[in-house]
Amino acid sequence: MKILRTLAAAALLFVGVVSMASAQVKPEDTMTITLKDGDVVVELYPEIAPGHVARIKELAKSGAYDNVAFHRVIDSFMAQTGDVQFGDMEDGFNLARAGTGSSNLPDLKQEFSEIPFEEGILGMARSQNPDSANSQFFIMFEEYPSLNNKYTVVGKVIKGMEHVNKIKRGSQSANGAVKSPDRMIKVRIGK
């Protein structure tokens, strides 16, 4: 009985610590992405990747991410979006060009960290050049250690991962390219 009370107390303490940590997130360090199934709240990490977080905030505040497609979605890996150049074409989605664009802002110098790529982590997409991230990012479906210390982590989903898991997957034969993709309907800074 004493062991059960100790375990219960430890569980309550853990829940309290997690709740306090979430409550301490500043509204200006959260990003809310509205998907077809509901809102996804991301805690951004400005202390880990200040340049990349500043870029995401700038693009979100300007509306650049609104209606942008999840152009590359690979089951058991990640969902990639943020191509503000080719990802929001109203006259039809250009599958061939999606994922090749960026913003009109300069590329960013890498800000790698020790944070592991696991479920819910938001990382910046880039080319082979580590200093080529710009506007595109991806949300992890599960742990993927081979990305650790090779891509910049900018935040983590703290609410709504169930909506991320419902994003339409792409074709494995086409490296995750998605026909008629789901989109980020609206992206805003704050909850």
- CATH architecture designation of domain 27-189: Beta Barrel (2.40)
Residues of the chain short of pLDDT 50, as ranges, are 1, 4, 6-21, 91-92
pLDDT at 179: 86
N-to-C CA span, the chain: 42
pLDDT tens digits for 82-107?
A: 998 766 655 445 555 555 567 889 99
What's the confidence (pLDDT) of residue 151?
A: 97
**Pairing mode, if any, of strands 38-44 and 153-159?**
antiparallel
- Whole-model pTM: value is 0.83
pLDDT of residue 92: 47
| Residue 14: predicted pLDDT | 43
